[in-house]
A and B are shown apart, each in its own frame.
Chain A
Amino acid sequence: MLRRRQFLQLGGAMLAMPSLARAQAPRGQITLMAYTGIFQDNYMATVVEPFQKAFPDIKVNYAPGGTSAAMLGNIRAQKADPQVDVVIMDVTTSSIGNAEGLFDKITPTEAPSLNELYSEARAVGGDFGPAVTYDHLVIIYDTQTVKPPLAKLADLWREDLKGFLSISAPPNIQGLALTCMVEKMEGGDHRSSINKAVKKLRELSPGVKTFEPNPDGATLLLNGVVKVATGWNARSQLYHDESKGRIGVLLPPEGSVFQINTINLTAGSKNKAAAAAFVNYALSQAAQKAFTERLYYAPTNAKAQIEPKALARTAATPETRARMIPVDWMEIVKIRDQWNNRWRREIIAAN
């Protein structure tokens, strides 16, 4: 039987429980570094702000980071005294950060949402940061001037489009992805050779207006400089909506290639608990659903229940996933310089 003193101690402890739990809950500030522009706007609205509502004691500062390589440069420069806690970047770049010890491993204990990810999304980072978004290469075109509309990748070689093409060449990963797609279209496999792709792209080269669209293909398209461009699906879908359908988006029936963004914990983060809480939230069903439905990045959480209408505009449906060309980006990175040189000497030079 409880004595009076023990009873009072237990009662006091129970009363103190909520404040103890709050004291242990992550709190403070963290800095998230990720892409700027429409990614930032939409990620803030669909992931960062809801996270801050769920964790009112944590403030997330969004640091726009430019390209993935630029973000890696920032993290390298801050290695001795990291100012950034979480980074979202392309997998080809985050793998460099993992190898250089710039990022920490993440366990399901720290981020239980890891257990809900597609197996390939978890595997892509190994024990380090997993995939947080999937995107894929599409062909965008001006629906007002391209008649008949584009229906397949092979349409890029159409006579009426000569001189009106914007193709992002390597080392931009759009160019690397296109190489894989054209090789497959020509009946080859990029894992053994890209000879067929190079031959075919060489034929396309004289009709290409620019191999380096600035600021991007969609802008050149809206300005009437080009009629067709390569682009990433998520942004292109948004441009489609913003241009009231003027920009058409084609996922080529010949197949496409996934671009993978990973979410990473910076090694030496001053607030690792809060950073891990954010990573967990970003990978959760709710955040993945909200971001996919807003910006059409395919989710990496297998349990996220995405609206069918939004899902159809990503590459996450079973039919489109089946069309994706399997690409091991770690292997591509190793031969990127060779591909880059072939583009410069054999494709771009063919004018």
Chain B
Amino acid sequence: MTSARWPLLAIPAALLLAVIYVWPSLDLFRTAFNETGATGAMIEAFSLKVWRDLLADPFTYELTVNSLWLSVTATSIALCVAYPIALFLFRTDTRFRGLLAVMAIMPMLVSGVVRIFGWLTILGDQGMVNSAARWLGLISTPMRLLFNWTGVTIGLAESILPYMILALLAGFGRLDRALEEAARSLGASPLRTFVRVTLPLSLPAIVLAAGLGFVLSMSAYITPKLLGGGRVFVLATEIFEQATTNANWPMASAMALYTLVLMLAFLGLSSVLSRRLAQ
């Protein structure tokens, strides 16, 4: 096949994308300009009323800050855990490397809901954490680890962890062991070698993984919904409430587009940063 015909191979994927993503997105865009009547009925229109209501409501900004804060916190925690695991998997010569990699990403094979119920068992009043703390004499009454921000942050960090490990592994391409060996042979301590050589070389991978973790956290719905106990309000849960409890599709659509713009802005920023670091 000549090189000019290669793009033809992308046609099936482009068509699929058009059907399952572009068309519904256009529909979503159109719905965001409808209106909602006083009793909740959707009125066909081309109006900015819903957008005015959305942008004039201080709760929208509270939701935005909540979503950003949750995403940054969960991504940071997950990154701290994922980085050493990914680095170990990248460096190890053991013949069990494949098995270890599968184990690291195994949580992806389990349904998100099932994982959440696992956390309910671990973080509950009678759960493993509280029982261990009580047994060690650290606490007398159970710590509140569930149905609040703490539980959601822990659950979300765990749920994005496998994706971040994969992203880090994919981004470690420039991590050359010879450079680290050179630093060590010139007298740098292991810590200094890590800080001055390994970490800077893996910064593009970190930015890539952090971007992925951030976007996954921003759009996460199950974890805040099930572990938040109705106390954690983020954009994703509010979109769901508007669409499936209030049947207010115009507001849900406008919020979804608002969130999409936020995420695209962040992805753009992350992409620019990643390119600069790679140069």
Contacts and interface: CB of A to CB of B under 8 A. Distances in A.
Contacts of A99: 37, 39, 41
A55 interface: no
Nearest to B57: A341
A91 to B, nearest CB: 11
B231 A351 contact: yes
A225 B216 CA distance: 29
Interface stretch (A108-116, A205-213, A263-271): A205-213
A344 B59 contact: yes
Interface SS, A side: helix
Contacts of A93: 40, 247
Contact of B41 (A69, A100, A210): A100
A124 to B, nearest CB: 13
Nearest to A210: B229
A145 interface: no
B246 A330 contact: no
A344 B42 CA distance: 25
Contact of B147 (A67, A100, A210): A210
Contact of B230 (A67, A341, A348): A348
Contact of B39 (A67, A95, A224, A337): A95
B108 to A, nearest CB: 22
A243 interface: no
Contacts of A28: none
A72 B252 CA distance: 15
A70 B244 contact: yes
Contacts of A334: 38-39
B28 interface: no
A76 interface: yes
B229 A69 contact: no
Nearest to A337: B246
Interface in A86-142: 92-93, 95-96, 99-100
How many of chain B's residues touch chain A, expressed as a range?
20 to 34
A337 B248 CA distance: 11
Interface in A157-172: 169, 171-172
A169 B245 contact: no
Contacts of A210: 147, 229-230
Interface SS, B side: loop
Contacts of B231: 211, 348, 351
Contact of B40 (A209, A333, A344): A333
Interface residues of A, number: 33
B229 A212 contact: yes
Nearest to B44: A100
B244 A212 contact: no
A300 B245 CA distance: 25
B243 A209 contact: no
Given A92-B40, A225-B124, A351-B231, A212 B243 contact: no
A348 B243 CA distance: 22
Interface in A35-68: 66-68
A171 B245 contact: yes
B42 A76 contact: yes
B255 to A, nearest CB: 14
A172 B230 CA distance: 11
A225 B144 CA distance: 12
Given A96-B39, A100-B42, A341-B59, A211 B229 contact: yes
Interface string B194-210: 00000000000000000
B245 A96 contact: no
A336 B124 contact: no
B155 interface: no
A68 B38 CA distance: 18
B92 interface: no
20 contacts: A67-B244, A69-B243, A69-B247, A73-B244, A92-B40, A95-B39, A96-B247, A99-B37, A100-B42, A211-B230, A211-B231, A212-B225, A214-B225, A333-B39, A333-B40, A337-B246, A341-B59, A344-B59, A344-B233, A351-B148
Interface of B: 37-42, 59, 120, 124-126, 147-148, 225-226, 228-231, 233, 241, 243-247, 249
Given A67-B244, A99-B37, A348-B231, 14 more contacts: A66-B244, A67-B245, A69-B245, A76-B249, A96-B40, A99-B41, A100-B41, A209-B147, A209-B229, A210-B147, A225-B120, A334-B39, A341-B59, A344-B233
Interface of A: 66-70, 72-73, 76, 92-93, 95-96, 99-100, 169, 171-172, 209-212, 214, 224-225, 330, 333-334, 336-337, 341, 344, 348, 351
